[in-house]
Amino acid sequence: MAISKERVTPIKANLKCLLICLAVSMANCQYGFDTATVGGFQAMIGFLEIFGYRDPTSKTGWGIETQTQQLMTSLINVGTIAGVFVTAPFARYFGRRPGIWVASIINFVAAGVQVGTTSIGGLYAGRALIGIANGLFITYANIYVAEVAPAHLRGLLVSFFGVWVNIGSVLGAVADNYSKQHLDRLCYQIPLASMFAVPLLLSIFMFFIPESPRWLLIHNKPEQARRALERLRGNSLAPEFFREEYVEMARGIEEEKELASSASYLDIFRGTDLRRTIICWGTIMSHSGAGLWLIIGYGTFFFQIAGVEKPFEASIISTCGSFAGVLVGLYFTTKVIGRRTSMLFGSAMASLCMLAIGVAYVTGGTSKPAGSAIVAFMVLYGFFYNGFSGTLSWPIATEVCSSRLRVLTIGLCTGVNYFFNWLTSYTAPYFINPNQLNWGGKYAFIWAGSNLCVFFFFFFLLPEMKDRSLEELDELFQNRVSVRDFKKYQCVSSERAREVALKEMGGGEGEMKTNVVVETVEDTATATTAVASKV
């Protein structure tokens, strides 16, 4: 490992950066809260009286059309696809912070429409708009954290995605459980009105959070980038090692510029970036490949048709199990095991849990013992998937892309993933709805096989990237290092940055120079000017 050991500072020294990343990652809470609450609406009498139909054969006396289930759940994915595809052109002119502000405004409109409407068309429009907001939230929040986090803490900080999504899911399930007692519109209006809270807090936080230094460097703003990095690092680094990190960023962007002539969608399929795109694509696609949208979109309804006596309480237990998995997984993936081992373990266990759910339903049907087994394995699924695979998927996806192409790659890959999320959420009612195929728990067999495919993808293609700086990863991929040799490869990018930094410090001066040597200024300005016209 080429990074100076003095840059591997403890969490306490990086508390300021940690709090900033925690605040920005809160954007993901909105995604978890929204999907959890809407999944519960389908089992609420007050909601079904407006958007469903009377069904004497149902335990609640009400039912919901398959098409309504499909559209209200899948349109959020359609909106998210639209949202992630506008991130790249937006990033050409604006930074990560404005992107989150725009997402907050769209979220306000979407939540207001859903609270006020009694029209199915208005509901659908609100679902699509909330999807656009989520697409912007997810993309900009996670890219920001990946770009500003210290190399040795990047996995932990980007994993706040999983923490916040699961906090949102728990809060959403609890909100549904306590609002379901209302037999009128309040049963779903209360959870929907709660969706104003997170965007409001984010909008305020963004005024106090610096822009991404890497984005500023790419857009030819080296002095602003240096000041932003100083705010993020605080007193965690000595001047010479702060300078080392800054120089490494600037040199990395310069080298990217020399290797490519543009920042277009075609670039992510060219040269060594193709390998990075495939890994990013497969890692993000593991979300839809895990069968997660069966739980997100139809968890409460799935428990209900599987014969579980208390489906809302089961949803809360399931989401709490997922949250517990995230907390346990964060410890193991930062202290004990690496990225690759964690992803392999998480996908393997998810496959086994889905297999067990299918077997429990086939052998026990809708009996009470079978329902208890389904809940138990659903909790275990959430624990293992979210703790070991889902938690690290975003750190891996964001760090594997080059800085110049990060927004383009993440946007495209996330869009493809949400297309398959849409496909899952759109087709799931055909499999589980009693009025259609009525597979019930047998639907889990499909996802057992899908998770097995994800496991093999990680086994053959995913390298170990733990504790590497983003610039070191650029070097590793440019040199076409194999999966087997990735972990032990000795990088030179940080060593060169250290040499330049020490030279600029005048052989170890005690305080940071305000002005850098002319040569480095020219190199950085040349690199950032060239790249700025392409991103």
| Model pLDDT for residues 70-111, shown as the tens digit of each residue | 788 778 878 888 887 888 788 778 888 999 999 999 999 999
Burial (Cβ within 10 Å: 0-12, 13-18, ≥19) of residue 515: exposed
Give the integer Cα–Cα distance in Å for 494 and 125. 49
Q: Are 432 and 298 in contact (CB under 8 A)?
A: yes
Mean pLDDT within 135-159: 87
pLDDT at 2 exceeding the cut of 80: no
* DSSP designation for 62: E
Q: Using 50, 70 and 90 to split pLDDT, how confident is the model at 257? A: low
pLDDT of residue 105: 96
Q: How many Cα atoms sit within 13 Å of 9 on the Cβ side?
A: 19
CA distance readout (Å), 153 to 14, 17, 376? 9, 10, 33
| Residue with token string 């003095």 | 6
pLDDT at 112 exceeding the cut of 90: yes
Question: What secondary structure does DSSP assign to 160-211, as a single string?
Answer: HHHHHHHHHHHHHHHHHHHHTT--STHHHHHHHHGGGHHHHHHHHHGGGSPP
pLDDT of residue 448: 94
Q: Which of 273-277, 289-293, 517-521 has the lowest mean pLDDT?
A: 517-521
CATH of domain 5-209+260-467: 1.20.1250.20
When mean pLDDT is compared over 109-123, 309-323, 410-424, the highest value belongs to 109-123
Q: Are 399 and 146 in contact (CB under 8 A)?
A: yes
When mean pLDDT is compared over 129-133, 265-269, 304-308, 527-531, the highest value belongs to 129-133
Q: Provide the token pair at 96.
A: 């990560």
Q: Using 50, 70 and 90 to split pLDDT, how confident is the model at 372? A: confident
Give the integer Cα–Cα distance in Å for 447 and 452. 8
The pTM of the whole model exceeds 0.75:
no
| Model pLDDT for residues 315-352, shown as the tens digit of each residue | 778 878 888 888 888 888 777 888 899 999 999 999 99
| Model pLDDT for residues 37-81, shown as the tens digit of each residue | 887 787 788 888 888 888 877 777 787 887 787 788 778 878 888
Give the integer Cα–Cα distance in Å for 49 and 78. 26
pLDDT at 508 exceeding the cut of 90: no
Q: Are 218 and 531 in contact (CB under 8 A)?
A: yes
Give the integer Cα–Cα distance in Å for 252 and 274. 18
